[in-house]
């Protein structure tokens, strides 16, 4: 009788330990997949570069600040420290994963413009022109993703590793601060689904579409398409 009870206890303990180990391994795999998508490593210091508010040099838009907070929380969850710089930052990212937030139009984030010119030759983000139909449009290859302020907007998101760096740049170039925040918020939640549709998580370029902004602000975002080949000029 006592032997049967002892065997039962041992079996229960072993079963509980197995379930705990399986759940822990599952969480570790999930965290590793998330870290791989965003290009960070536990214990690493990350760099966040944020652009200026339009027509307000030296001031970040509140939505861009919120996007920075979301990225800082993400980095913290993955065991990384964070430093923040403005779009005037110069130099390589070295062994720091760089999150660069904000489009280049009107000098909002000059660093984004430099990244696009150096690494994404197939991308053109048009300057603001209130009378032009392609004002602030994101052009990738032969396609244009037009700007419909407050209704339907886009953010270009790219990940690549400069030749002189040991860690990648994760670029978020939205048509407005709404699109920037929407892309960051969406990818934090949906990175697994997005990763499953990419040819590689090491280097990619996608368009995130934000719709119904008047009602849902930045919460209604979807993956429009992957444009890696056209963006990198392959």
pLDDT of residue 14: 56
Tell me 201's DSSP state: S
Q: 141 and 118 in contact (C-beta within 8 Å)?
A: no
Using DSSP's 3-state secondary structure scheme, residue 17 falls into helix
pLDDT of residue 6: 61
Angle at 41 between CA 101 and CA 166, to 5 degrees: 75
Per residue in 160-178, pLDDT (tens digit) is 999 999 999 999 999 999 9
Q: Is the pLDDT of residue 159 over 50?
A: yes
Q: 206 and 224 in contact (C-beta within 8 Å)?
A: yes
Place of tokens 């861009």: 64
Q: Is the pLDDT of residue 24 over 60?
A: no
Q: Pick the more confident residue, 8 or 113.
A: 113
Which uninterrupted H or E stretch holds 202?
none
Query: How many angstroms separate the CA atoms of 109 and 57, rounded?
Result: 10
With pLDDT > 70 as the criterion, what percentage of the chain qualifies?
86
CATH classification for the domain delimited by 39-231, as one of 3.30.379.10, 1.10.357.10, 3.90.550.10, 1.10.645.10 = 3.30.379.10
Query: How many angstroms separate the CA atoms of 191 and 108, rounded?
Result: 26
Query: How many angstroms separate the CA atoms of 37 and 192, rounded?
Result: 8
Q: How confident is the model at residue 21 (pLDDT cuts 50, 70, 90)?
A: very low
| Domain boundaries of the chain, sorted by first residue | 39-231
Q: Pick the more confident residue, 169 or 133.
A: 169
Q: Give mean pLDDT, residues 107-121.
A: 94
Query: How many angstroms separate the CA atoms of 125 and 103, rounded?
Result: 8
Q: Give mean pLDDT, residues 65-92.
A: 94
Using DSSP's 3-state secondary structure scheme, residue 191 falls into helix
Q: How confident is the model at residue 12 (pLDDT cuts 50, 70, 90)?
A: low
Q: Give mean pLDDT, residues 84-105.
A: 94
pLDDT of residue 31: 76
Q: What's the mean per-residue pLDDT of the chain?
A: 89
pLDDT of residue 25: 45
Q: Read off the pTM.
A: 0.87
Per residue in 36-61, pLDDT (tens digit) is 999 999 889 999 999 987 766 777 89
Q: Is the pLDDT of residue 85 over 70?
A: yes
Q: 49 and 113 in contact (C-beta within 8 Å)?
A: no
């Amino acid at each position: 009788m006592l032997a049967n009870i002892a065997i039962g206890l041992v079996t229960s303990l072993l079963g509980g330990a197995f379930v705990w180990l399986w759940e822990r391994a599952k969480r570790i795999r999930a965290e590793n997949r998330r870290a791989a998508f965003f290009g960070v490593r536990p214990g690493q210091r990350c760099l966040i570069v944020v652009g200026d508010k339009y027509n307000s040099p030296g001031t970040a838009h509140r939505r861009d600040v919120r996007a920075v907070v979301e990225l800082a929380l993400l980095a913290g969850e993955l065991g990384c420290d964070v430093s923040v710089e403005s779009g005037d930052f110069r130099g390589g990212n070295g062994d720091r994963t760089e999150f660069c937030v904000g489009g280049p139009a009107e000098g909002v984030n000059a660093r984004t413009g430099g990244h696009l010119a150096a690494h994404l030759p197939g991308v053109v983000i048009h300057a603001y022109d209130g009378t032009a139909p392609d004002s602030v449009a994101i052009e990738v290859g032969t396609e244009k993703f037009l700007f419909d302020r407050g209704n339907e907007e886009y953010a270009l998101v790219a990940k690549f590793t400069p030749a002189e760096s040991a860690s990648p740049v994760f670029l978020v170039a939205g048509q407005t601060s709404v699109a920037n925040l929407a892309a960051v918020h969406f990818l934090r939640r949906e990175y697994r689904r997005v990763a499953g549709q990419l040819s590689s998580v090491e280097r990619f370029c996608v368009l995130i579409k934000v719709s119904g902004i008047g009602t849902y602000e930045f919460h209604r975002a979807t993956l429009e398409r992957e444009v890696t080949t056209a963006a990198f000029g392959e």
